Amino acid sequence: MPLDPKNAETMSRYYERTNTGDFFGALDFLSDDVVYTVPGPADLVPYSGQWRGKSQVMLCFQAFTAAFGLVDMVETRSVAGPSEVFSLNDEIFVGRSTRQPWRVGVVHHMIFDADNRICRLDNYTDMVTAVQALGGQSAIEVPVLPPDLVSGEQDISADAAIAAVERFYAAFPDVRELLDEKATALMPGDPRRLRFAGTWHGRDEFVRMTAAMRDSLELTDKPVPHLVAEGGAVAVTTTVRGTFVPTRTAVDLGAVDFFQVTGEGRIGRWCRYFDTHAITRF
């Protein structure tokens, strides 16, 4: 089901304010008890953390403007239900003190209350590039979701697409038979530190990536994900919980997976949004 028109209007007007730097004006579209989260290490990224209520969110927004300038933001895709939306964006920033730019994919998962205000907004992104740029380094290039559809994506029902994604999770990492021949995967992270980071093209590369992920992340459980679909586009909130094998670091991270399912019910594209900096920080 599509986003309620009044909630869509709220999101549109919220973006109008934030994209022009009018964060004070953006507060008008948040509920008084809003919860706003940004991943990352608060000691390196001053706007990271969970912010509760408008007064705290304003502090977060002030930290935004002190740390970076938003150069450009383009929504590449969105997946919605009546009272929630996953807005997938291609965003470019510049650190104010370092003048270092970075470009990264960001998911804004917004939930709306009965008054059509945003009562929860969770940001899902990889903070590696922000940490690098705000620290004065040249940020790595990371995969960013393209706006194109996969074959037959508009022809499959939401229920059938969700069933395909559920089969993928149940079979992971042995997913070869569930993939389209031209399947691609876009995984965040610094490839110098994560073997599964990067863009993987075709069924063979995709399977090599899932094997690398299996060898790198020893998962302790498979949490039940929350799935929302429109046609063949499926957005999923899940948790990556376990151990990063190379360093034996504990991992407990929220993530959004975005899938594009073909008309034949196969996985055509998988893009994951989560903070790999929390895994590889030393």
pLDDT at residue 94 is higher than 90? yes
Where helices occur in 33-149 by DSSP H, the ranges are 53-67, 128-134
Single-letter amino acid code for the residue at 246: P
* Average pLDDT, integer, range 100-107: 97
Burial 250-267 (b: 16+ CB within 10 A, else e): ebebbbbbbbbbbbebbb
**pLDDT reported for residue 21:** 86
Q: For position 282, what pLDDT does the model report?
A: 64
Q: 198: closest CA among 210, 211, 185, 214?
A: 185
The DSSP result for 143-174, as a single string, is ----SPPPTTGGGS-HHHHHHHHHHHHHHTT-
Give pLDDT, residue 224: 74
**Per-residue pLDDT for 1 more than 80?**
no
pLDDT tens readout for residues 70-90 = 999 999 999 999 999 999 999
Domain 153-280 listed as CATH 3.30.930.10: no
Look at residue 68 and tell me whether its pLDDT is greater than 80. Answer: yes
Q: What are the tokens at 56?
A: 């705290």
pLDDT of residue 281: 80
| Tens-digit pLDDT profile for residues 121-173 | 999 999 999 999 999 999 999 999 999 999 999 999 999 999 999 999 999 99
What pLDDT is attached to residue 65? 92
Query: How would CATH label the architecture of 5-134?
Result: Roll (3.10)
In the structure encoding, which two tokens stand for residue 65, read together?
Answer: 């403007």
Q: What is the DSSP letter of 223?
A: P
Residue type, 21: G
Spell out the long-range contacts of 14-22 with Cβ–Cβ below 8 A and sequence spacing 24 or more.
Answer: 14/118, 15/73, 15/75, 18/70, 19/70, 19/73, 21/65, 21/69, 21/70
Which strands make up the sheet holding 49-52, listed edge to edge? 49-52, 30-38, 118-125, 101-112, 84-95, 68-81
Burial level of 68, CB count in 10 A (0-12/13-18/19+)?
buried
Gap between the Cα atoms of 211 and 214, Å rounded: 5
Which residues belong to CATH 3.10.450.50 in the chain?
5-134, 153-280
Largest distance between two CA atoms of the chain: 50
Residue 108 predicted with pLDDT over 90: yes
Q: Round the average pLDDT of the chain to a whole number and report it.
A: 95
Q: Mean of the pLDDT values across residues 240-264? A: 95
pLDDT of amino acid 204: 98
Q: Answer whether 145's CB lies under 8 Å from 188's CB.
A: no
d(CA 128, CA 187): 13
pTM across the whole model = 0.96
